[in-house]
Structure 1
């Protein structure tokens, strides 16, 4: 009886140790995350595949570093210079996520702080380079979409070789110095008014041309009609009209051959 506790204690210790080992060997990775395996005897293998969502079994002396692999957003407010040296404030959003396939390389070469080490410097460098090619007026109005696309493409060239997937760069706002903004707005207003005035002039000119064309057409028609109306045709028309009037029940007096060129004179009761 005295030997049972001595035998049971090592068994109990072994069971507890086994439970601890099993607990440390099971790693659960949440949805939207992936894991990088760190081996005690070798560190991170850059060619290893990431551990996926759910339960993963690893040796208890190794560890797992988790990364969020869903698309993420960082807001960026940058001060950059335009082509003529004016200070421009850009308010942008950067949509990105780590390259899951190369997650081990990202961790080994850049670490979990890759956002500050790689992505933010890249977006700022690209923004300075792109904005420096445009005037404040282009930034404020017509070229914003083109600038946004150029910043995206230049940033992508920098980060895609460093295991970061850049999805989009969105320019939310461009802030100019107040005096420059007011000057641009006045210029745009004047240009709009000038376009409206030119439109009215073109419209008036087209209306005038239309009236001239219609008048010319009428004049040509009258000239052709006058040339075709001979005395014989007029007499025939007069006779036709006389016959129709003679058939009318209205009171009238028709004097045949009493008008010019022998045309009838019609005397009614009106």
Structure 2
């Protein structure tokens, strides 16, 4: 009998306390009325017959949503989007009283779907698959802030994780990207050929200029040097010679031994 009484008391004690974990707060609801006092992380005692402790996370929550988004040209875009948000600690009782425990489904997701549809309807489908994605994310975030900020919700980020375009549009974008890449490659080849032609032109002009300098200056000097050397050799030669010259280039007519 004592054992039964002891176990009953022990079970009653266990049912009259709960643990609020880190990243959570607890709010007591007694006879359907919420208490404005917030219980922080730790052991919280309560009367299980009259009171319930509602635990609400106040750390960042990642809610992933799959939905179809409209585009400006009337296409339907399959998407997967993450919403990062948290709840202001001091507004938890107000949120529970104003929206209820299902605040994510009742309020956050509905606000998000409306904001996302309004924003994406202003953009072409290809914009969601390009560098304008961050702009779309920020506009959805701003729309959600307008509706949720004053109610205790802080939307941190909206991330478009994946966008699936219609097959025909995807193929058209791929063809366009391929054509742009080919055009860039051709432009690179043409530019390379132009530079090579300029290099050859400069090289040819340099060669021609060198030949001109050699023909007009260097060759004449060499001939004059050879003429001087020839005169010198003739002057020192013991043989008899008949030479016709203009003073620069000797021309030997006759030569005989003494």
TM-score over 0.5 (shorter chain) = yes
Task: Please list the CA deviations of residues 17-70 of structure 1 after superposition, one character each: whole Å capped at 9, or x if unmatched.
Answer: 99899767644323332112335596443xx4x211112355775542211233
Distance in 1 between residues matched to 2:210 and 2:221, nearest whole Å: 20
Q: How does 1:34-113 map to 2 (within 5 A)?
A: 34-39=25-30, 43-45=34-36, 48=37, 50-57=38-45, 61-113=50-102
Flag the 1:75–1:233 CA change in 2: closer, same or farther, 3 A: same
* Paired residues, number: 231
Flag the 1:102–1:223 CA change in 2: closer, same or farther, 3 A: farther
Partner residue in 1 for 2:132: 143
- The answer to whether residue 19 in structure 2 is matched with residue 31 in structure 1 is no
Q: How does 1:244-259 map to 2 (within 5 A)?
A: none
- The answer to whether residue 151 in structure 2 is matched with residue 168 in structure 1 is no
Q: Return 105-114 or 56-65, whichever deviates more.
A: 56-65
Distance in 2 between residues matched to 1:211 and 1:131, nearest whole Å: 55
Q: How does 1:110-189 map to 2 (within 5 A)?
A: 110-189=99-178
Distance in 1 between residues matched to 2:227 and 2:142, nearest whole Å: 86
Partner residue in 2 for 1:209: 198
Flag the 1:212–1:109 CA change in 2: closer, same or farther, 3 A: same
Flag the 1:222–1:149 CA change in 2: closer, same or farther, 3 A: farther
Tell me the TM-score normalised to structure 1 length: 0.69
Flag the 1:200–1:17 CA change in 2: closer, same or farther, 3 A: closer
Task: Please list the CA deviations of residues 102-133 of structure 1 after superposition, one character each: whole Å capped at 9, or x if unmatched.
Answer: 21222122221111122111221221122122
Q: Return 99-108 or 18-27, whichever deviates more.
A: 18-27
Distance in 2 between residues matched to 1:237 and 1:56, nearest whole Å: 117
Tell me the TM-score normalised to structure 2 length: 0.72
Q: How does 1:200-239 map to 2 (within 5 A)?
A: 200-229=189-218, 231-232=220-221, 234-236=223-225
Distance in 1 between residues matched to 2:215 and 2:95, nearest whole Å: 95
Partner residue in 2 for 1:194: 183
Task: Please list the CA deviations of residues 112-155 of structure 1 after superposition, one character each: whole Å capped at 9, or x if unmatched.
Answer: 11111221112212211221222122223343333333333433
Preserved contact between residue 80 and residue 127 of structure 1 (Cα < 8 Å):
yes
CA RMSD of aligned residues (A): 3.6
Mind listing any 5+ residue stretches in structure 2 that lack a counterpart?
230-242, 251-258
Mind listing any 5+ residue stretches in structure 1 that lack a counterpart?
1-12, 241-256, 264-270
Flag the 1:230–1:20 CA change in 2: closer, same or farther, 3 A: closer
- Structure whose residues are more often strand by fraction: 2
The DSSP-based 3-state class of the residue aligned with 2:40 is coil
